[in-house]
Amino acid sequence: MKEHVLIVDDEANIRRMLAALLRSEGFEVIEAPNGNATLLALDEARPDAVLLDLMMPPGIDGIETLRRIRERDATVAVIMMSGKAQLTDAVKAVKLGAFQFLEKPLAPEAVLVTLRSALELTRTQAENRVLRSQLGAQPDMVGSSAEIEAVRTLIGQVAASDARVLIMGESGTGKELVARAIHRASHRANRPFISVNCAAIPRDLVESEMFGHERGAFTGASDRRLGRFELADGGTLFLDEVGDLNLEAQAKLLRALETGEIQRLGAERVQTVDVRVIAATNQALEEAVAAGTFREDLYFRLNVFPIQVAPLRDRLSDLPELVPHLASRVNPRNTPTFTADAMTLLASYDWPGNVRELANIVERLHILGGPEIDVARVRQVLPRSGSGRHEAPHGTADSTHPGSDLHGRSLSNVLDDYERALISNALARANGNVAEAARALQTDRANLYRRMKRLAMGGT
């Protein structure tokens, strides 16, 4: 995609020289003769970088212009230019966020190298803001069951291509792990992997989240924001729970997939992006298509290469590998061992929450302490209601009054029962309408669905 550069200099010859140089290198160029014109161009053209002269009589100088630029846009790259710069000027400019000073007369190679470095830094900083929460070692796919080996085979077959992948499976099965494995094995491995949870985006912010927005595009848009498509340019965009997108958002996503073009909210120009899309869902999208809640054309665009991830209950042979792996993630230096009886009890449970639920159970066991986890300790934390196949002990509290019998029960189990009762009552009052029940519980529909799934409640 072409990047826009604003050239600010009171000398027309310098603007023409720089404009010709940058256009020959594929940049779009906007020109401004002074500071006031710069601020107007900043609001209208939304440049990616600014080449800013220090001295521009008789109006405001470059330092004051830089200060006002930063008030409007904290992210745009600014490069100062001057033939008479003093050390104090350079210090002020750097403190205000200038990338570098270029001395006049300008050397074309120095201009291009500095400009590209500034733009690359700006892109990297934007990516880092999104990726910061994802820093650290990425978990691997663990297990040697036939089901997990089949997934590994499919990953190997599709990774080298740019084909879109649709990963299907219940919540907590590790669909994002599969997406990351595809990315790591692809030629895009050194480019960004950007993940977005479609179920967690408020309806009125989907377009801003996906495609970005300019400053002032809507109420509350105080700064420019790069969308997930733009951040993933050259890399992979992972759309988790894509089935939760509303029809309006689906239409905009479809257009981006078909054309490879995006447009920030409030922007006039269209940008081309090179993004590989991997989507995931825990819904039966074919049924959603038949019901009219998911676009058929989008479904076919996403479902080029399907991968089905088996639930944990169908690959219990992976437990001996998964359990110590998850335990080591909690504390690599102090990992407990599990007795054979403890592993047998874990294998007797249906795991409605899949590997995510297993990870939570293992972490609880680790918190309780001890170098060895036996069957009594597992029975203490393993849920005694819901989809589990193991027999619940006598004395389980009434779900409507979870505090009525706490003997032998953990706080987590009591709280789960209480939450399950609250949700059941809200659903009953709403005649099964999840959106209405969510409003009564003062939460959003997506969060309520996640809680219902975690609690293994039916009808989700």
Task: State the number of CA atoms in the 13 A half-sphere of 336 facing the CB.
Answer: 21
In this structure, the chain runs to a length of 460
Distance CA 385, CA 166 (A): 33
Same domain, 183 and 110: no
Q: Give the residue from 295, 310, 325 where a domain finishes.
A: 310
Q: Which domain holds residue 419?
A: 313-454
CA dihedral 321, 324, 327, 331 (to 10 degrees): -120
More confident residue, 306 or 132: 306
Distance CA 29, CA 226 (A): 20
Same domain, 201 and 162: yes
Helices 146-158/175-184 angle, 10° precision = 40
| Segment 241-294, tens digit of pLDDT | 999 999 999 999 999 999 999 888 887 788 889 999 999 999 999 999 999 999
| Segment 42-69, tens digit of pLDDT | 877 888 899 999 888 888 899 999 999 9
Structural tokens at position 311: 């639930």
Structural domains counted in the chain: 3
The pTM assigned to this predicted structure is 0.59
Contact call for residues 434 and 448 (beta carbons, < 8 A):
yes
Same domain, 114 and 235: no
Q: What's the CATH number where 35 sits?
A: 3.40.50.2300
Phi-psi category of residue 229: left, alpha or beta, with phi > 0 → left and psi -120 to 50 → alpha: alpha
Distance CA 197, CA 219 (A): 23
Same domain, 175 and 298: yes
Phi, psi dihedral angles at 58 (to 5 degrees): -100, 5
| Segment 403-439, tens digit of pLDDT | 444 445 566 676 777 788 788 878 877 777 888 888 8
Same domain, 236 and 347: no
